[in-house]
């Protein structure tokens, strides 16, 4: 395999892809879908373009196997978030290469993933690798604003996708330490469940010069104080327990015993205080509540008749929404109206006991001995929820090696990916597919 040549090819494709503006809204992902279609056509890999709404295209390409085993789905999204151009040192839509990095909106999230997944199909096809499974490549629209025109539409309307046994999607990375070597492989088999609530307080309006005891703003802030102070109970899933067990050897000696059995460790008040000051750790072990919108009044000398707030809550999969809501209402009191705004399905994380996960683990132990493969419970939401709810074992993992600082460029300024990562990503992906599909 001439990886140098493949890297040149992949970088050229990614440059061209980054030049296609797919900022969502409006998305216009159909241009990205056409870009992929042209390449798959020229390699004689069958593909189909879907456009459920004008401009909102998705592309499915299929590399056929002998059908002995069920398909693998390689998922990526084509839309990107907007840019604040004035904060970039290069044009975010020019695909500029500088000092070994390719810059552009989508360079990490998620266009590089699309390119290495496409390259994997090309490499397997050119190498005439006999496959026991079909390999699906699905580039979708609309991930950044909920997936309605993208993966959700695709899962509801393209029946073959539901036959997939495994799926790989964006999410975790190989996180590098300060010395530049691999600290951990973060693979996410599951995510928190979105549960958003709209709150309303009603009261009596009037002139601000005569304060009244029925001011909705005052009622709302008192109620919110109680809710935001609530320390939700710990709820540690087995995969989360495993994550911290694997992270234990990396902790200072006096902390290790707590990480080895995090459920027990959290029983120690001083440890749990230290532990939950890490925002991601905190989100992995309990339901969380963020007060995100607060609206009341529009004129300084008028007491309004109504004020509103919104809570963005993220629940541990399997956590009871009914109980959670009951606890919220108890703290808000009777005077606050509560209404559900958006509610995700509670989907259990995918199993770690699979040949796909084992293939990742094998790769990791060969490539980065002693580096843990840690199953991260993602605090946020990815498209994978639509796959897991159909029973597809889905792992969120981009095979790229990034420092925590580089990861911060996702949705940020000067988003970029190193060319070395493109090479590594292609190699790792091809090796894993070969393990699981041949
Ligand atoms: Zn993304």
Q: How far is the CA of 170 from the centre of ligand 1 (A)?
A: 6
Q: How far is the CA of 209 from the centre of ligand 1 (A)?
A: 51
Q: How far is the CA of 81 from the centre of ligand 1 (A)?
A: 9
Per-residue pLDDT of 306-322, as tens digits, reads 999 999 999 999 999 99
Q: How far is the CA of 140 from the centre of ligand 1 (A)?
A: 11
Q: Give the contacts of 34 (CB within 8 A, at least 6 positions apart).
A: 49, 57
Q: How far is the CA of 300 from the centre of ligand 1 (A)?
A: 41
Separation CA 394–CA 350 (nearest Å): 6
Per-residue pLDDT of 190-210, as tens digits, reads 999 999 999 999 999 999 999
**pLDDT score recorded for residue 131:** 98
Q: How far is the CA of 302 from the centre of ligand 1 (A)?
A: 44
Q: How far is the CA of 12 from the centre of ligand 1 (A)?
A: 21
Q: How far is the CA of 144 from the centre of ligand 1 (A)?
A: 7
Q: How far is the CA of 171 from the centre of ligand 1 (A)?
A: 8
Name all domains of the chain by residue range, CATH numbers in brackets.
3-189+349-437 (3.40.630.10), 193-343 (3.30.70.360)
Q: How far is the CA of 169 from the centre of ligand 1 (A)?
A: 9
Q: How far is the CA of 143 from the centre of ligand 1 (A)?
A: 7
The conformational region for residue 318 under phi > 0 = left, psi -120 to 50 = alpha, else beta, is left
Q: How far is the CA of 388 from the centre of ligand 1 (A)?
A: 17
**pLDDT score recorded for residue 220:** 98
Q: How far is the CA of 235 from the centre of ligand 1 (A)?
A: 27
Q: How far is the CA of 188 from the centre of ligand 1 (A)?
A: 14
Query: CA–CA distance from 179 to each of 118, 182, 389, 421 (Å)?
Result: 31, 9, 39, 17
Q: How far is the CA of 44 from the centre of ligand 1 (A)?
A: 28
Separation CA 266–CA 323 (nearest Å): 22
Q: How far is the CA of 283 from the centre of ligand 1 (A)?
A: 20
| pLDDT-flagged residues of the chain (< 50) | none
Q: How far is the CA of 64 from the centre of ligand 1 (A)?
A: 27
Contact call for residues 244 and 376 (beta carbons, < 8 A): no
Q: How far is the CA of 273 from the centre of ligand 1 (A)?
A: 32
Can you name the residues that pair with 315 across neighbouring β-strands? Answer: 193
Structure-block tokens of residue 16 = 């061209």
Q: How far is the CA of 113 from the centre of ligand 1 (A)?
A: 9
What count of other Cβ atoms lies within 10 Å of the Cβ of residue 263?
Answer: 14
Instruction: Give the 3-state secondary structure of residue 5.
Output: helix
**pLDDT score recorded for residue 197:** 98
**pLDDT score recorded for residue 326:** 97
Separation CA 267–CA 276 (nearest Å): 12
Per-residue pLDDT of 207-226, as tens digits, reads 999 999 999 999 999 999 99
Q: How far is the CA of 110 from the centre of ligand 1 (A)?
A: 5
pTM above 0.85, yes or no: yes
């Amino acid at each position: 395999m001439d990886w140098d040549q493949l890297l040149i090819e992949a970088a050229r494709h990614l440059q061209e892809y980054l030049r296609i503006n797919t900022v969502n809204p409006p998305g216009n992902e159909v241009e990205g879908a056409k870009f992929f279609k042209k390449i798959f056509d020229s390699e004689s890999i069958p593909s189909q373009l879907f456009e459920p709404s004008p401009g909102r295209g998705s592309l499915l390409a299929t590399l056929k196997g002998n059908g002995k085993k069920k398909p693998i789905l390689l998922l990526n999204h084509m839309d990107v978030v907007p840019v604040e151009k004035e904060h970039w040192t290069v044009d975010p839509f020019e695909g500029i290469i500088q000092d070994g990095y390719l810059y552009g909106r989508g360079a990490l999230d998620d266009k590089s993933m699309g390119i290495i997944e496409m390259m994997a199909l090309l490499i397997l096809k050119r190498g005439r690798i006999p496959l026991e499974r079909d390999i699906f490549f699905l580039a979708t629209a609309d991930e950044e604003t909920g997936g309605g025109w993208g993966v959700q539409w695709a899962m509801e309307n393209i029946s073959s996708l539901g036959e997939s046994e495994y799926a790989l999607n964006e999410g975790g990375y190989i996180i590098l330490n300060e010395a530049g070597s691999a600290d951990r492989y973060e693979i996410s088999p599951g995510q928190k469940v979105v549960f958003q609530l709209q709150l309303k307080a009603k009261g009596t309006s009037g002139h601000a010069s005569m304060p009244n005891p029925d001011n909705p703003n005052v009622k709302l802030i008192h109620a919110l104080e109680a809710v935001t102070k609530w320390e939700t109970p710990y709820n540690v899933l087995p995969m989360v327990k495993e994550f911290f067990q694997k992270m234990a050897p990396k902790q200072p000696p006096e902390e290790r015993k707590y990480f080895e059995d995090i459920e027990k460790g959290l029983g120690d008040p001083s440890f749990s205080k230290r532990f939950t000051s890490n925002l991601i750790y905190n989100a992995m072990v309990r339901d969380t509540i963020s007060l995100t919108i607060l609206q009341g009044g529009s004129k300084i000398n008028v007491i309004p008749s109504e004020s509103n707030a919104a809570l963005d809550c993220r629940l541990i999969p399997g956590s009871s929404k009914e109980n959670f809501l009951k606890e919220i209402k108890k703290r808000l009191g009777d005077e606050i109206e509560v209404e559900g705004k958006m509610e995700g399905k509670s989907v259990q994380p995918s199993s770690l006991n699979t040949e796909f996960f084992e293939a990742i683990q094998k790769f990791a132990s060969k490539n980065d001995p002693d580096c843990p493969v840690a199953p991260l419970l993602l605090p946020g939401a990815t498209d994978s929820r639509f796959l897991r709810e159909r029973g597809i074992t889905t792992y969120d993992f981009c095979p790229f090696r990034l420092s925590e600082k580089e990861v911060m460029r996702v949705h940020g300024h000067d988003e970029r990916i190193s060319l070395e990562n493109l090479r590594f990503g292609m190699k790792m992906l091809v090796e894993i597919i070969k393990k699981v599909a041949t």
